[in-house]
Structure 1
Amino acid sequence: MDWNNADHYKVTSSSVQSAWQSPLVGPPPATTPESVAARMYQARVTLFETSRATELCMNKRTAVFKGLLGKYKKLAASHEALKPKITPKWRSYCSVSPKCKADAHKTEVNQLTSALFSQANEKICLEDEVKKGKALAAELETRATAAELEDAEKAGLLKVLGREIIKIDNMLTKFFPLSVEHAQATMAKLRKKRDLAVAAGVSYEWDFEDYLVSIASRVKPLKSFGVDMLDASFRTFKALWLGEEVPEEIPALARRLHEGPSRLNEWRESAARVGADEALSFVLSWYDGGIKLDVLQNMRAGSPHLSDPDLVAKRKERAYSFIQFADVHKFVEGPISDAEAEMSDGEEEVEDEEVAVVSASTVPSSGNNDPPVSS
């Protein structure tokens, strides 16, 4: 209960009933309120309430005082208990003037404000670091994903490469069966050097390196064979087609070499022409005008040089002796008949017309009648 509210007293029905029981007031009269007795009764009730209110107010003040006194004693006891705990700094602070205290408070406030600003800046820096960390984590995650994709792609490429390597080894085995034994021996030797278990006799399966060693052991001799075959092809071409340029591309050279049997037959015919001409030249040199060349188109039957073995042997010996005088290394074209000459002239005219058409189509225009060119 507050000390300031102790002067107030609220009249209730219980106070009126207590007034009825008082001998000073007594029960209310039965007359109407306008009567004098009723007014007197009302005055007595009011007087009773006033006297009772004074008593009650005093009781309230006494109770409030006792409560405040108890609180004061408690505070005093607490104060006495706190005295030993008061530090010299606090005593000096209490002895300082209010202005100094205000300055000290202001300085402390400034220090606290600076500390708050520092904490705010530190918080901003920490937030920036957190953002950088998140960005770095996202970048690392992206890199990890890209690395995983790259590893998966590499794994796929390795599988494809492995299949292709096996195919190449199988093709070499199929087309070059003689190289299988050498390739297997080379591979087994190198496998034992890099795998001690295999050297101890443990069975194994071929890996990529084994296939590569097998292929390399075959490709190296094939390379030498290819170089030798190419050199032989060049020599063969130059021997069959004297004075002609060797094709620079291998497919073109291969196509020309496929014509080698026909060209060899042509060389045989050329050598036969040279030998026959040389033999006939020897004969005619001894019989100037005595032998008609038209007669030599037919062979006389019954000649002893065709039936007598001794004469046949002497004939062949003498004929073979003409070889040293015949230039068989020079290619000699055979005589061309009239029909073949006409056919050859017709083919040359057709080729000349085709060349002329191609040249006309490629001649640049003068520019006067050129169509417009869009950019």
Structure 2
Amino acid sequence: MKNKMTHENSTAELRSSTVNNSRTKLALKQLVKTYDNGHQAVRNISLDIEDGEFIVLVGPSGCGKSSILRSVAGLETITSGEIELAGRRIDTLNPAARNIAMVFQNYALYPHMTVYQNLAYGLKNRGVPKDVIAQKIKDVAQILRLEEYLERKPAKLSGGQRQRVAMGRAIVREPELFLFDEPLSNLDAALRTHMRLEIKKLQRQLGVTSIYVTHDQVEAMTLADRIVVLNQGQIEQVGTPMSLYRDPQTQFVAGFIGSPAMNFLPGQINNGQLLMHGLAVDMENDALPDVTDFTVGIRPEHLLPGELPGCLHIPVDIEVVEPLGAQKLLHCHFNGVSVVVVIQDGEFYPEEKAVFSVPHEQVYFFDQQGNRVHSTRSQTQKIA
């Protein structure tokens, strides 16, 4: 019981100390980053991040997420724009003066130093007294369960333990902002899942504003208070994980958020009838969009077995059945276009024909520019 109380007290003290020093709000104002070769990695991005938020920047390789993170940290010089932290402009300061801690993908630990020495290194360089350093490391080691590893060197640690040391080195500095640059990408799948939970719990304990970069939308969905979806150096959409899942405003966001990815089928309206990849399918007129040529988006988990009323009906040929325990993935063809279906119940077999139904309100439409368009019915509902 004594050990438990000590752990809880040290956690509370560290959290209080950190939060009291972190009344922060990060503001990116018309941020532009152009490299010497002419590549514009970040294009006029503006974003406000509130105190204590866990923000995840997500997008494919080359979308600008790491450039934004490195610009905030001071590892990249911005081309134009401003970065403010807690109301003070920091883009003109050197990295050490920004009071920001960064956790890297490759851990960036000193191999010749013990865990204790790695944790103490930054504090020692700042002239922090030895007894203060010792107490801070004790507190952090308890939070991250590193007490028994303090005298080991990084080579004697697992990947997960090294990542905890890297996070501990950031925490002892009591920064105003945490930056995470794809910290879990070197770990195996099971350890990634575990470390996601550890990072989320830790961020909630400390209450420090955090920005996390990943290309993995599952990480983004499970960690973020808000997600920033990036594409070609620009923001596609910002929102909570579920708002992006339920209400994507572009085809890019719809395809990037959600696993398995949304199905997309070319569609058009001809004489008031919906044609999908040239095949006429049944859908009520007031559920159709008010454009002629478009893309139909259907999430795999929204496809229900059978011809149900008030739904879009999709006849398919099943090619492969992929059992995943509680659910199955059906890899199908609809008039020559690949369609993935997620089902919880029912028996389906390869080379079998089947019909699946999607409720009208779960059918998404995107115009030729990739922007979301709504049906006449949904527009009427919004007005009402």
**TM-score, length of structure 2 as denominator length:** 0.19
| Larger radius of gyration between Structure 1 and Structure 2 | 1
Give the structure with the larger strand fraction.
2
Give the structure with the larger helix fraction.
1
Q: Which protein, 1 or 2, shows the higher relative CO under an 8 Å CA cutoff with sep ≥ 6?
A: 2
